[in-house]
Amino acid sequence: MRATAVWIAGLVSILILFLGVRAFLDPVAASASFGLPMHTDAETTFVRIYGARNALLGAMGLVLAARGMIRPLVLLFTLATALPLLDGAVIVSRIGPGHELVRHGAILLLLATVGLALWRTSESGR
């Protein structure tokens, strides 16, 4: 179970890193997938900040997974579950509730599931 949880955490970390890099390379498209579409590069400053956040978190998760550092990985994934909630709050404050929140709900579920699997793994190794 330990190897599987760490492997999945590594894959999710790669996905998060990819989302961050994508926000740097194509912030207009990334803003649309975030749920707040923008039309010019001048409007996308927050998207680049979002990208920096995701790239850093993805890289950290990938390094922790590669080194088999379960407890820090558990902490990272557990704390990261707050991010889709905060992202969703930004969307609701700007455009109200809608289908754009589905993506953030799915990310929350993914982060929570991986965090729980890692937590169980870390507890069984004590």
Give the tens place of pLDDT for each residue, 37-66.
999 878 898 899 999 999 999 999 999 999
Phi and psi, residue 47, nearest 5°? -65, -40
Q: Is 86 helix (H, G, I), strand (E, B) or coil?
A: helix
pLDDT at 123: 84
pTM: 0.87
| 32 vs 124, higher pLDDT | 32
- 48 within 8 A of 24, measured Cβ to Cβ: yes
Q: Whose CA is closest to 47, among 89, 101, 90?
A: 90
Two structure tokens written together for 113 = 């599931």
- 76 within 8 A of 45, measured Cβ to Cβ: no
Task: For residue range 62-111, list pLDDT tens digits in order.
Answer: 999 999 999 999 999 999 999 999 999 999 998 889 898 999 999 999 99
pLDDT at 1: 61
Domain boundaries, the chain: 2-124
